[in-house]
Structure 1
Amino acid sequence: MQQRKGVERRTVLKAAGASLAVTGLGATATACGGGSGSGDGTVTIRYAWWGAEDRARRINKTIDLFEKKYPKIRVKTDFQPYSDFWKKFNTQASGGNPPDVFQNAIGFLRKYDAKNVLLDLEEQVKAGNLRMEGFRAGLDTFGEIDGKLLGVPVGSNSMALVIDKPVYARAGITPEMGWTWDDFDEAMARVRDRTGRAGDSGMYGVMYLYDLYLRQNGKAFFTEDALGFTESDLTRWWTKAEKGVTSGLFADPKKVAQIKPKSALSAELAGSEFTWDNFTVRYTSEGRSEYGLAPIPTTDGKRTGQYLGSLMLSASRRTEHPVEVARFIDFMVHDPEVARIMGYDRGVPATTAQYAAYRPTDPVNKAIAAYEESLVAADVLEPVTPHPNGADICEAAFLRIGEELGLGKRSVADAVEQFFDESKTALGS
């Protein structure tokens, strides 16, 4: 665990309430979100997130600013790598002592709402402690579930095709908005034939790409309480992916696994890779080439199925300091200086004030901003697909089973059956 230096707890935490296990909160549970108060009116709230050291450094700077503006509020921090974060959070939530405010994602909203972990922030909006105006491209509703405001976006991103620009130039490919999957398949063949490199890193386990493909065809990965596609749908998707590897259109999964954590694109195994637009920074730091963002292929030449996704800040239902937590969230999503410190670390700033405050000068981040602006201008953005309770387990299963399929450990039929078995259990369907 990492903690900011110089921030001390003012009082001992009050006793934790009853367990947030599957049976839910007990009726007599004692409210306890981990925040503390002192005799001079100063309170301490706990803030947790996932990420690396650089994100921690940036966030700590923003907290310093917040504490100067609100000297009666102290913030105690904790950050972990992604998987470790959720392991620790699950333990804290089950013990009735989650952090007061924490980084969140859409795949976890219904899950933790069902376990009575998340605070509905709408009351704080009505009280004037949290502003929900001034968000970009409909992001103000991104954290709303069943009429409750369970998360506030801090940044946005969208799926894109990251390309090796010199490779695409040698292959004579210029992707444009509205190109089709047939165009994409032809492009993969041209990269293979003209550059000696696989066209793409592979599509086995990219759940969010498959979601876009389904949305283009009138379906979606999730409905509000189940999967939104059939075994036949997934069989066709994974069969196409398998054939792409066999024909050399997609990179050899065994080689991709060998060079991890480096990406197949930056390792020069492939000419492109589907991922979130703000991950472009990764390829520039890993690879030797110049990378760019290309549009998502379409089924009909128009609909991409895209939406702006976002990391969010959520609050614990058990916090003793909902007002202070709301003010903290408001500061983090609206204050212009926060944007100048964070840059695009958590995506393109979600509010117009922060978006205007930070205008990147480096080519990579300028390209990310231009890409998202192009999506707005093309009017392709749609509402986000609902994510039911258990979506995070389905996502992990899709990635794991897709990798096993790629490595030859499962047949397509076996992989599809295994995924649906695990997903039905996770979703209770």
Structure 2
Amino acid sequence: MADHRVAPSEIAIGVVIGRTSEYFDFFVFGIACVLVFPKVFFPFVDAQTGTLYAFGIFALAFAARPFGTALFMAIDRRHGRGVKLTTALFLLGGSTAAISFLPRYDSIGISAVYLLAGLRILQGLALGGAWDGLASLLALNAPKDRRGWYASLPQLGAPIGFMVASALFSFFIVNLAPDDFIDWGWRFPFYCAFTINVVALFARLRLVATDEFVRMMDADRLRPVPVLDLFRSHLKEVLLGAFVPLSAFALFHLVTIFPIAWLTLNTDRSPGEFLMVQFSGAIICAGAVAASGLIADQIGRRACLMMSAGLIGLFALGSIGAPLLFGESAIGQTIYVTTGFMLLGLAYGQSSGAVTARLGKQYRYTGAALTSDFAWLFGAGFAPLVALYLSEKFGLAVVGVYLLSGAVCSLAALFIDRSELRQV
């Protein structure tokens, strides 16, 4: 292994496997916030309030994620990237699997809610520590004329992770009686998380543990730096970097978690059947992610980001003008979700490149991690909570306004900072 040359394609495979496991954990929790947690942990309130409470707990991981990055970067500096990654992925898989064993509110009262919130915070801390630098290394070592393509490959983990999570939940919803699903069926996807994370750990350690990987990381100066040092040198770049992909991150949960919640609370459509519609949408999303790489290599990453943010803005305006397209019919709901997933793939496919291209090599490893953390926090962490609350209070049109604000932020950030003109 010491003489093995780590090719960009190997790095890409490692990143995809790792990202898939992380997104699987998060989507399992997000879907359960709608279909399970209101009944299991919040039976003392109505379904809508219980879902809002669950979405509040959902947001805790995004708030904890930057702290996890800071903590595990310190572990990286003292004990190495392998120790950091192993600890983080075992914590991520272990905390997700532990949710499957939680007792219900009916058994231990409010303590069940506190335990769920605590495990959710651990998920966020662990995800901050799961940053391995592979995406940054891939961006630096990809062929110059194909950097958009290689930047898009790590993003495939999101649609693949959603496909696995949605398929598992759909299977149990369709094949189990409602009482059996709420009693024990929902626990199986959480239990699977530990196995999936162990597989992802070995796939990533296969690269991280090689001498060639260490030499490549050192040659590109991809080393952990103290967070305060990063902020003193590149606070502006970190904040702007967090706002560049905001349109994609705002759309992220508006086509995955929020539609399940709205339909479950306001229609009679089967969640299991709708999850399969979203599964199909995720396939389209994966294709759009790949297409974003080809487009970025032709017109440039910045132009691709501006184009996708503009399209999301138009989609948001359409959602404002015709909100009932999503709400009234199964066909309209399918069109909304399918179109949203396609636009998500185009925008999200280059968001990783937007993060890594913005920072100097010395700060890229830590800076890319924290920039991603803040982008998720600002754009996606509270999206299901805000969208559900506003839609129930003011109607579906306001969800389009919320999404439009994300598109405006992305376009404004791209106009303010022009470092995306450099394909580095």
Bigger radius of gyration among the two: 1
User: Under TM normalisation by the shorter chain, which class is it?
Assistant: under 0.3
Q: TM-score, normalised by structure 1?
A: 0.23
Q: TM-score, normalised by structure 2?
A: 0.23
